[in-house]
Structure 1
């Protein structure tokens, strides 16, 4: 006769609880044992969660991330070192070979890893968050508009915007804030030349409120930077959804209306109509593009003028280049894409300015599996940070790196050493648009105005992106023709 044994639930729990706890302890010990066999990069992890975040932010706010944070640790630990930033164990890498390794292994060994606040404000459906095929699809749509054929049509529109801006804001002024002026201009160019959206009063200020929160803690208590930014983002989203839906109705009613040259919004909405991308993806990528194409470009323009003011010999060479270009054109004839190609020295000046003052300090990646690199193991889930400063200020790639020398770009630069626009699959899709914005603005200013910076040694600070601390005030006077 079979016997049955009744076990009370309380007895079962009293046995299973400690057993589960023991199993978890054993698993944790085994994980620690395996990890202990891995050779982690040298470095200091600092306090739990906080790590070295305070030192990182302090140096970044003064725009001295390389001098005060990266360089001392490289001197102590070498080109690759570990730390803890914003709660995450992080490996900081330096050098062109490290940049090449991690950027070329995007989607394979590493993925983009932005702070939660940035993701929420830029949009989880933006290209910066997309991986693999989804990223390639969206990048293809954007690149098609910003390729040679698209830029050919955009150049005359940018020229028109620059001339109108100078006439409206510069013509009757004696001093202007160069940085603020270029922010207004580049914002207008993105909206009107690239997206076909008329800029209304208050739109720039709305986007600026979003920018204030992109690196702030993602805490939504009333009055916080992130909370204010999130509210502004909701306003922007509502505005853009209305614009996208209106554009879709127009293109479905009149398909030929989607063929405008250079209109990125038309290309995105065409993808929406075909079912290739969603409405959320259209909106989020427009938001990202506005930030990527105007904030960094306006800073690059400002630092270009800063360097020209400090180096009058370089300004003389640059000015002559523009005089020569106009000598072959009739009065009132606008610039073309071919004229941009003739501005070789001007672009060298801009490139050297962006080397010394990178518009972006670098970017975070996350390891999707354990990575073996340079004899070290970077564990799965750890962050990897590359910085533009790690090569831009290194004499191995740029002799006498703190000197302003546009002619260093006469010779080819080692791949992955010069990274003002990033690199690899995540190279900024709008870098060619930034180039023509810079060249066209410089052209019209130097040909139409005498100018001088009121404070040529004005410091650059981070708030949260790099900006001239005083807005770069400039004394101007129209040239007499």
Structure 2
């Protein structure tokens, strides 16, 4: 039997070789690069660099140095062109739905949902984005500031007030998860009961889509099914309340989605999939941005002094027991410069995948129909043409507008993150409450960052904390 199997191997590999050659014929206009092994391509090298959070240093940069800002490769079974630079970002982001469409790996689609805005195209995408954007319009954000303040204050009182050391990353993940679940969606379940389940889903979003017991993807699928049961129940309760005129209008985004469901504009599955996606999109990347902001502040005390002065000035102008307002948050200009510079150096996502819907001519090359396109945040964030001395931490570079499509932690074009203003609010308000209430310092100033599948501090970024002797009036609720 084994001899028979081995006899089949030569023709099997010959067929793979022919497929490989066929996929790469007529490559005279393709960018240079290495396609690697048939089907596998350079996936192993990509994953190895990703786990160590060295995608730029050990995967992208060596290929850029060798082949230029545009190069070909094969990742996760797909022939792919990696593009870098503000010009490329503008071209591909602005041509969404025209030349390219979103095309995430199978595991991401399965776990986030085939009916999420991530996968929607054209009119379906516009419809969902309009619903989400309406809930996150300025009026809605204004109303959310006091609720965000209350959530953060309660979290700090419960988890920080009597502690000497806490895991900053764990704490920020929990508070952002709580804000998204309770303030944005109005889902009344205890966040602690669902936090671990969502984390299990996250572990599988870039894993191999092998639904075999014991694999990351299999565990993630089970967790996704558990989440869906809870969400369907919450959606049905919200629908009954809205149809019966009993909706308290908490959870503005869930109300907006269920309202569209009642009007027949979207399905229940679309509501479920978009709640799942938006919980991940709004809380995990935001918590990482907050964590890294504090790391940068710890390593740059001069910047911290300027930031602290900004927040103490704001606190002094609040009455005792008065929460922050949207206008207060608008005054945190230097803090937002610090946060943006942090996200430039430590982007929460490495890029995004697209698929060519027709042959694309760009910069003298042809990207064949069906090929994937990957734009990277590193391609502009670390580019001297966009940001002089790119590896230095310099928040003041954001005091003036930066080149369009060069700073892209939230994407751009029609798929610009709909919740980026909410992320901004959470970051700024959290920083305010911490720096005005606590003295803090990093336990491990040189803690390494790893990635699985998103970046996170290897030790959880523990910090030593002690309450300040005088708490600013705006922090007392």
Query: How many residue pairs are counted as aligned between the two chains?
Result: 451
Q: Is the CA contact 2:49–2:55 (under 8 Å) kept in the aligned structure 1?
A: yes
Aligned pairs (5 A) from 1:71-90: 71-90=61-80
Q: Is the CA contact 2:135–2:252 (under 8 Å) kept in the aligned structure 1?
A: yes
Match of 1:343 in 2: 332
Taking the aligned partners of 2:212 and 2:96, their CA distance within structure 1 comes to 35
Taking the aligned partners of 1:327 and 1:398, their CA distance within structure 2 comes to 35
Match of 1:105 in 2: 95
Q: Deviations over 1:66-111 (max 9, x none)?
A: 1111111111111101011111110000100000000000001000
The question of 1:217 aligning with 2:208 is answered: yes
Aligned pairs (5 A) from 1:139-288: 139-200=129-190, 201-254=192-245, 257=247, 260=249, 263-288=252-277
Max radius of gyration: which structure?
1
SS across alignment from 2:197: helix
Q: Is the CA contact 2:182–2:251 (under 8 Å) kept in the aligned structure 1?
A: no
SS across alignment from 1:119: helix
Q: CA deviation at 1:262?
A: 5.6
Match of 1:69 in 2: 59
Q: CA deviation at 1:54?
A: 1.1
SS across alignment from 1:474: strand
Match of 2:377 in 1: 388
Q: Is the CA contact 1:153–1:262 (under 8 Å) kept in the aligned structure 2?
A: no
RMSD (Å), alpha carbons: 1.6
Listed as ranges, the gaps of 5+ residues in structure 2 are 1-17, 471-477
Taking the aligned partners of 1:207 and 1:173, their CA distance within structure 2 comes to 26
Q: Is the CA contact 1:74–1:80 (under 8 Å) kept in the aligned structure 2?
A: yes
Q: Is the CA contact 1:45–1:82 (under 8 Å) kept in the aligned structure 2?
A: yes
Match of 2:389 in 1: 400
SS across alignment from 2:410: coil
SS across alignment from 1:156: helix
Q: CA deviation at 1:239?
A: 0.7
Q: Is the CA contact 1:146–1:262 (under 8 Å) kept in the aligned structure 2?
A: no
Aligned pairs (5 A) from 1:51-66: 51-66=41-56
Taking the aligned partners of 2:322 and 2:409, their CA distance within structure 1 comes to 32
SS across alignment from 1:404: coil
Match of 1:430 in 2: 419
The question of 1:333 aligning with 2:322 is answered: yes
TM-score normalized by structure 2?
0.92
TM-score normalized by structure 1?
0.92
SS across alignment from 1:140: helix
SS across alignment from 1:99: helix
Q: Deviations over 1:156-193 (max 9, x none)?
A: 00000000000000000000000000111000000110
SS across alignment from 1:363: strand
The question of 1:93 aligning with 2:83 is answered: yes
Taking the aligned partners of 1:149 and 1:37, their CA distance within structure 2 comes to 52
Q: Deviations over 1:342-381 (max 9, x none)?
A: 0000000000000010011100100000000111100000
Q: CA deviation at 1:202?
A: 2.2
Q: Is the CA contact 2:51–2:452 (under 8 Å) kept in the aligned structure 1?
A: yes
Listed as ranges, the gaps of 5+ residues in structure 1 are 1-27
Match of 2:346 in 1: 357
Q: Which residue of 108, 112, 115 corresponds with 1:122?
A: 112
Taking the aligned partners of 1:442 and 1:180, their CA distance within structure 2 comes to 15
Taking the aligned partners of 1:305 and 1:47, their CA distance within structure 2 comes to 42
Match of 1:5 in 2: none
Q: Is the CA contact 1:303–1:353 (under 8 Å) kept in the aligned structure 2?
A: yes
Match of 1:446 in 2: 435
Q: CA deviation at 1:199?
A: 3.4
Q: Is the CA contact 2:182–2:188 (under 8 Å) kept in the aligned structure 1?
A: yes
Taking the aligned partners of 2:23 and 2:308, their CA distance within structure 1 comes to 65
Q: Is the CA contact 1:188–1:199 (under 8 Å) kept in the aligned structure 2?
A: no
Q: Is the CA contact 2:152–2:175 (under 8 Å) kept in the aligned structure 1?
A: yes
